[in-house]
Structure 1
């Protein structure tokens, strides 16, 4: 398998990683939160959120569908109301989490995710340029951009994880149970595909190692005659 074929295969893997990361950024199923359920046959309010907005869902809980942990599961039918976070929509009076540090965590996770998207765009441009004959040198910056995109993705995931942890541990919120959703899984998958593919491109951009010592000797420039 030649070098160009390996680059094309890596590019298809990168497409999967970029699609996963983009899906994670634009969707709001990073985490699912539920309050304590004190009685059956009543309505409780669970929530799921992403980088940009929070969705609250009124779910009717009966003894049949109660899971013993909290309000939910979120897949149960109910009336859902989604609002963008207040710090992203100035002037909007929508309620958000009552934790003071939530704003900083959410803005940080969103900003880092945007950096990841920007690195993906730069990496894609460099990779497309490398397909042109004689532009193999562009593989190295492409690999670096995709590796940085993967690192930004995992940092955004960790910031979001710490955010959820603080909300659950805080006495100022009603949430007692949480789980991570499919958007969170997409971000983790995006990190794996982007980072590993970026490293692959960096390896492919390196000069080919000699197969044996004689090969390097044959490639050496002849010594000048005296």
Structure 2
């Protein structure tokens, strides 16, 4: 029974490591959302933008007119010159000012702050997990699971804040971006939430002591009185 429990803990921890990797990839990357303007003049390069929690990047792309109809700028995989600028709550810059006009500054600050809190929960969960394996402190698996659950919740909240900021940006009259879609960083954040939340709860449940199967089982296992 103990061997089966140890196997469950190892498998759950491996899946948590996948969630941690996805979480770090989403936090450090700049592809949460991609925004495109409408292109009518194909003789001039158009500008597509993508951003993460820390930076806004713009890429100038020269598109070819194939059917004479207006279309969104892109795709972003086309070659072009890229210029990235940190948001204004970290540093000043022209792109940051444009970003602040087209969306609420509080959105980007909130998303970044919540993600940092989630990374902190994730780090504490990893420390507890490593100590439980190295020092044989099994009772640390319960707080580790809870830390991973909180980290997953922080990531999904941060993703929702980013989603709201994108909608506010697209709806603003001051922006040229009309089309948008969520990219792989956003998908990593949502996937990390699912893995960390589910596996964190599973880790807590697995680490709980086994309930007695029969009413007299706990009495039989009790130590005799001296």
- Give 1:53 shift: 0.6
Mapped to 1, the partners of 2:140 and 2:204 lie a distance apart of: 10
Residue of structure 2 equivalent to 1:93: 93
Residue of structure 2 equivalent to 1:139: 141
How well do the aligned residues superpose, as a CA RMSD in angstroms?
2.1
Residue of structure 2 equivalent to 1:6: 8
- Determine if contact 1:51/1:106 at 8 Å carries over to the other structure: yes
Please, what TM-score do these two structures have when normalized by structure 1?
0.90
Q: Secondary structure at the match of 2:95?
A: coil
Q: Secondary structure at the match of 2:57?
A: strand
- Determine if contact 1:116/1:148 at 8 Å carries over to the other structure: yes
Q: Secondary structure at the match of 2:84?
A: strand
Gaps of 5+ in 2: none
Cα deviations across residues 123-143 of structure 1 (Å, max 9, x unaligned)? 011111111465111111101
Residue of structure 1 equivalent to 2:128: 126
- Determine if contact 2:50/2:58 at 8 Å carries over to the other structure: yes
Q: 1:39 to 1:136 in 2, by over 3 A?
A: same
Residue of structure 2 equivalent to 1:44: 46
Mapped to 2, the partners of 1:207 and 1:140 lie a distance apart of: 11
Q: Secondary structure at the match of 2:89?
A: helix
Residue of structure 1 equivalent to 2:63: 61
- Give 1:101 shift: 4.5
Q: Secondary structure at the match of 2:45?
A: strand
Residue of structure 1 equivalent to 2:171: 169
- Determine if contact 1:98/1:173 at 8 Å carries over to the other structure: no
- Determine if contact 2:102/2:168 at 8 Å carries over to the other structure: no
Please, what TM-score do these two structures have when normalized by structure 2?
0.90
Question: How many pairs align?
Answer: 221
Residue of structure 1 equivalent to 2:112: 110
